[in-house]
Chain A
Amino acid sequence: MNHRLLLFLLATPLLFGQANLEGIWSNAIVTPLERPADLADKQTLTAEEAAAFAKQAVDRRNADHRGASNEADVALAYNNFWFDRGTKTVSTRRTSLIVDPADGHIPALTPQAENLVAEKRAWMEEHATDGPEGRNLQERCLLWVTAGPPMLPGPYNNNFQIVQTHDVVVIVNEMIHDVRMIPLDGGPHLPDNIRLWRGDPRGHWEGKTLVVDTTNFSDQYSLRGSDRNLHLTERFTPVSPDTLLYEFTVDDPTAFTKPWTAQIPVSRTKGPIFEYACHEGNYAMTDILAGARAAEKKNPR
């Protein structure tokens, strides 16, 4: 038995009598949430295929490649040195992070959810530059699409830190500024009328797995079409000294026609994580709105 594995087995049950999840973890990987169309019939890649897939993904996303038109180019923002994406597929070499349904895709939205999404989209398009409210939550530094919960790989800042005490687990996500306090005291969720941006999490241990149950999401939070009935279950299981299996299940019967589950093995990484403090210098918000005002002056409605 190697030294690290022995340490892992010894250390695992020792933090407040529970598995030790503490550390800084990275979910920087190239595997997409949903299975790419050209791999529709393929659940898992061989080692060679995974290497080729990762290489292609890294190249495709290299922001130093210029856009085919000015419109496409400006949308690519800036050089690649600012990005910090993953360079490998998940260690399981699965073709999607979604493991259920078996096709690797988010189940269809219900007609009710489709209508809600369309209504929101239309409102956003109509009011895109009226004021900050018309911009998305990410541009407003309120929530980042991959910071979740659930946590998904993104273009940079793919790191989170777990700190444990006997009655709370804290997850600090480098993307934006999120600190999640997850009580382990067995208490009930908040009353239904109290809604939080990232929901109300409650944790408990099942063996060495931390299970986090989150409800009471704000009406303004939507994960791929989810609504206020979103019930998210996340599971954190240490599977090796340097790997944590992160799984989550999205259950929202008014939004999705069935629940769906994803799995992401995350890797221990060197710290520290850095403060993001998105509001600190969000000049883009005023620039976007000032640009719209300048356009109106030029071509009054």
Chain B
Amino acid sequence: MRTKLAIVIAGVGLLLSAAPGWAHHAFAAEFDSSKPVKLRGVVTKMEWINPHAWIHIDVKNEDGTVTSWMIEGGSPNTLLRNGFTKYSLPVGTEIVVDGYQAKDSTNKANGRHITFPDGRKLFVGSAGQGAAPDSK
């Protein structure tokens, strides 16, 4: 039976992997479309890792407590190629994240749309052109 399974698994990876957004994995399998979240928080860390970078933020709640969230992005290679570095989004930078919470209900979300509070986009253009927003 195990042999049969091994054979049957064969190659499906390459048949089913063309997810609409063409991320490395199916975001719809990881995040819950019925749990949209909008978070405003400050960056505490950015994990500059593959296949997807993760931005850690602290979100202040109305009662003064703080909730930490992890926000999934894409491959950092594109940012590197455009001249950005792990210092381009410094700790303390405030960002607004529009996304969907993880299906396991932990404080993780995809960064479906991330901006600065004034609506400007992150990582615009090329850092070489001085366009890295807020990179001091």
Chain A residues in the interface with B (C-beta under 8 A): 63-64, 66, 69-79, 81-84, 116-117, 119-121, 123-124, 128-129, 133-145, 154-157, 174, 218-227, 274-278, 280-285, 287-288, 290-295
Contact = CB atoms under 8 A, between A and B. Distances in A.
A142 to B, nearest CB: 7
A75 B20 contact: yes
B69 to A, nearest CB: 13
Contact of A281 (B9, B49, B124): B49
> Taking each of B5, B11, B114, which has the highest tally of chain A beta carbons within 10 Å of its own beta carbon?
B11
Contacts, number: 231
Contacts of A141: 24, 51
27 contacts: A63-B21, A73-B33, A74-B32, A75-B20, A78-B27, A78-B110, A79-B74, A121-B15, A121-B16, A133-B5, A136-B12, A138-B25, A139-B24, A139-B25, A143-B13, A156-B75, A157-B77, A174-B77, A218-B10, A221-B14, A224-B15, A278-B24, A281-B51, A283-B52, A284-B72, A287-B104, A287-B106
Contacts of B32: 74, 291
Interface string B19-50: 11111111111111110100000000001011
Given A156-B78, A281-B50, A293-B104, A223 B28 contact: no
Interface of B: 5-34, 36, 47, 49-54, 72-75, 77-81, 100, 102-106, 108, 110-114, 121-124
Contact of B28 (A71, A124, A156): A71
B110 A74 contact: yes
Contacts of B36: 70
A84 B96 CA distance: 23
A294 B31 contact: no
Contacts of A139: 13, 17, 24-26
A280 B53 CA distance: 11
B47 A281 contact: yes
